[in-house]
Each structure stands twice: as structure tokens, then as C-alpha cells.
Amino acid sequence: MRIRKCVKCSRYTLKMLCPLCGSETTNPQPPKYSPTDKYGEFRRKMLAQSD
């Protein structure tokens, strides 16, 4: 069992659904770093477009 973070209210829980608001929870840890990240360029472009 690992800690999870609510998408809506940003609270931490161990459950798949947030006990406070009932929305889905996700893994709060960032992906592991890889120098040969083949999707890094696309991720940076999406991040730049969303700002």
C-alpha cells in the first residue's frame, strides 16, 4: 500500500478514492529520471503550451 494524492483537493490518503471529496487519487511521485527519455521532448512541449 502506497500513499496517494487526490486530484481535486490535493489531500493525501492510502485509498484509491478520496475519502473527503470522492474523486480519484494518483501516485504523487514523479517518474524516474532517465537520460534516454524518449518522451521528454513531447512532455516539455505540452508543459510550455499549458503555461
Give me the pLDDT at residue 51, please: 65
Count how many domains the chain has.
1
The residue-averaged pLDDT of 16-43 equals: 88
CA 8 to CA 39: how far, in whole Å? Answer: 26
Give me the pLDDT at residue 20, please: 92
What residues make up the domain containing 14?
1-25
* Contact (Cβ atoms closer than 8 angstroms) between residue 25 and residue 17: yes
Q: Which one is predicted more confidently, 36 or 25?
A: 25
Q: Is 20 inside a domain boundary?
A: yes
Q: Is 41 inside a domain boundary?
A: no
Q: Is 51 inside a domain boundary?
A: no
Q: Which one is predicted more confidently, 37 or 25?
A: 25
